[in-house]
Structure formats: C-alpha cells, structure tokens
Amino acid sequence: MSMIVPRPIVPKAHPIRDESARRAWAAQHDYCFACGASLDYLQAIGSWLETHHLARGVGRSDEPCNLFRSCMRDHKLCHGEQVVAYGVRLPLLTLGMQLTIKQLATPDEWNPERLAVLYGQCLPSLAPVPEWFQMEFLRNRGNRYCKA
Ligand SMILES: [Zn+2]
Ligand SMILES: [Zn+2]
C-alpha cells in the first residue's frame, strides 16, 4: 500500500511589477518609516529615501501593502547589513519589525493575508521596534509611531 501525501495548496502570488505605480506611491510617502527622517532632511545630509519591498524574491510586488519607505541607512538594516552610527552598531530591522512599522505607518494599506501570499509562507510575528528607532522617530517627527 502506498501512502498518498497531499500537496499543500499554495496560492500563486501573481506579483505586480509596476515601476510607475511604485514611484507614485513613493512620492506620497516623504519620510523614513523606521526613523522618521524627512526627505528634505535626508537630502540636506546627502542621503535619500528608498522604497523597500517587504516580500522580496518572487513575491517582490509593487503593491502598497508590500512597500516600505526607508532612508538609505535603515534600508541596509532591513536587508540585514550592519551599520555603525554615532559609534554604535545599530539594531537590524527584522521583517517582524518591518511589519510592525508598516502597520503603524500605513494602516490603510495593512494586508497581512496578501503579504503572506507574496511572502510564500506564514509571516513572522510582529516584533517590537527597538527603542533606538522609537526615540529617533520621536525626535524626527515629534510623535511616536502612528498613522502618517
Ligand atoms: Zn531611517
Ligand atoms: Zn529593500
């Protein structure tokens, strides 16, 4: 007798690749979701704002629920690259932290069901954001993480 192992049903992601939609979204979000730095401030110090994808690889979709605005420094942290600032090594921004920040920054775009499909697996649990970013965000925006 042979055992029949059912294959799990994984919905196809059908990611959207649309650079103009991504640019239009980016133009509406003019600060770093993680540290709160504004585009004006970043340009003044020779930096820039970039658009990060929460789900990457095959699920790298240009849908609002998957987009995360980030300064160049924090974008590196989102990708697990080490960054030293003010003499200290900054905490990495794990996907769980990115999800927490995304939900607070753009609650209207929050769609964990769709994100899980793009990610191709269960999303990690929402993780607390390190105090470092909370304090920087407060300094830069004058408020704690909340709806933009
Ligand atoms: Zn930042
Ligand atoms: Zn990225």
- The DSSP letter of residue 1 is -
- Regarding beta strands 67-71 and 49-53, do their DSSP bridges make them parallel or antiparallel, or are they unpaired? antiparallel
Is 82 contained in some domain? yes
Cα 103–Cα 108–Cα 112 angle in degrees, nearest 5: 50
- At 1 the pLDDT is 60
Q: How far is the CA of 32 from the centre of ligand 2 (A)?
A: 13
Is 101 contained in some domain? yes
pTM of the model: 0.90
Instruction: Express each pLDDT in 61-96 by its tens digit.
Output: 999 999 999 999 999 999 999 999 889 999 999 999
Token pair 């994100």 is found at 115
- At 148 the pLDDT is 46
Is 51 contained in some domain? yes
Q: How far is the CA of 44 from the centre of ligand 2 (A)?
A: 22
- At 9 the pLDDT is 67
Largest Cα–Cα separation, the chain: 71
Is 9 contained in some domain? no
- At 26 the pLDDT is 98
Contact 117, 16 (CB under 8 A): no
Q: How far is the CA of 15 from the centre of ligand 1 (A)?
A: 26
Is 11 contained in some domain? no
pLDDT < 70 positions in the chain: 1-2, 7-10, 147-148
Q: Which amino acid is at 135?
A: M
Q: 126, 109, 136: which is closest to 34 by C-alpha?
A: 136
Please list, in sequence order, all residues whose beta carbon lies within 8 angstroms of the beta carbon of residue 67, skipping any fewer than 6 positions away.
Answer: 22, 25, 26, 29, 51, 52, 53, 54, 109
Ligand closest to CA 70: 1
Q: How far is the CA of 41 from the centre of ligand 1 (A)?
A: 11
Is 38 contained in some domain? yes
Structural domain span for residue 31:
19-141
- How many domains in the chain? 1
Q: For residues 59-79, b (16+ Cβ closer than 10 Å) or e, as one string?
A: bebbbbbbbbbbbebbbbbbe
Q: How far is the CA of 11 from the centre of ligand 2 (A)?
A: 24
